[in-house]
Amino acid sequence: MNYKVPCILLLISVSLYYLLSPAPPLSDEQLTTHLKDKVVLICGASSGIGEELAYQLAGHGAKLVLVARNQDKLDVVKEGVVKLGATDVQTISFDFSDVKGSSGVINQTIAWFGKLDYLVSNHAAMGNSAFLGFPYRQEPDFIEKIFRVNLFSHIELAVHALPHLEASKGHMLFTSSMAGEAPLYRMSIYCSTKHGMNGFFYSLQQELMARESPVSLTIGSVGYIATKDLSQIVAGEGMTTPAWATGDVKECARGMIESYITRPPTMTYPKLYVYVHRAMWYILPVSSFHKTIIQIFKPPGTVGTGYQEALEFVNKGREIAKKLNFQQGYGPDDGK
């Protein structure tokens, strides 16, 4: 194997890591000073990163509005944040495939608290199945629904939150992905929604700057985060992820919270993994990049590209996969 290209990419990535790393982490005291009594709306708060954000923000005295589809899960998270000392917590059960109705989430938050300081638009319908391998993924209604959840609802939230955030000189964070910067095998629809998110919100950053708005906007470029549900899916498909490429959900949430205060244009996590991926996409010829990604995602013990084996793994782990494909119910049978 020729190690020259990987070594060059690693050197570039490590250099970027140190050159582009933000300021030193903020202390708990600094976070509490900035966040106490601030109103934070978290969309996608019933599990994963959103759930962890709620727990950490509760410890800093923030007032929380938690949004997700599943009210039972929201009730569990609410109980947890109350135990951590939160006194002002509200929940909204809402399906973000209803794009026009997304404005109601903002309106209800204002009705409860009279203001909004931070919008955390974190919800997503995720998928990890080959587009050509499963006919339901090629249906226009299915594709449109994922775009409504992963892109259009985020835009709708931004539009309706902006006047309130301008009044409070607040901040918006939109959880995107390294899948919005480079293609990922078996995630074509998800990648396309995240590319759309990056295109829209980076352009919106420019417009906010041009109109000298007091509102800032961070795009979260997030790689693989070892949440409980995602780890189950990966294990169910017989895949393993190296430790250096795996992000910790607590550390990721902490980085997002710090970005509410430091307000960077992009929050990258886990840094080294995402920087390596970026470097591969921009430096390797396209065909070389594609072949590398296919090898990385190839099921263990298979020959060739492992495409058919990958489809069998998904079918074999059907019950587990439905929790992610899609945990919020965005699957071919609505997750039931």
Query: Domain segments of the chain: what residues?
Result: 12-324
What SS3 state is found at 171?
strand
The structure tokens listed for 98 are 């209803």
What CA–CA distance (Å, rounded) separates 326 from 317?
Answer: 13
Best mean pLDDT range from 18-32, 173-187, 229-243: 173-187
Tens-place pLDDT, residues 46-82: 999 999 999 999 999 999 999 999 999 999 999 999 9
194 pLDDT more than 50: yes
92 CB contacts (<8 Å, ≥6 apart)? Answer: 65, 66, 67, 74, 105, 108
Name the architecture of domain 12-324: 3-Layer(aba) Sandwich (3.40)
Q: How confident is the model at residue 139 (pLDDT cuts 50, 70, 90)?
A: very high
Is 260 annotated in the active site? no
Q: Does pTM surpass 0.85? A: yes
Catalytic residue among 185, 190, 260, 269: 190
Q: In sequence order, which ranges of the chain are alpha helices (DSSP H)?
A: 4-20, 28-35, 48-58, 71-83, 103-113, 140-147, 153-168, 188-210, 228-236, 249-262, 271-283, 286-296, 307-316, 318-324
With tokens 């190296």, the residue in question is 242
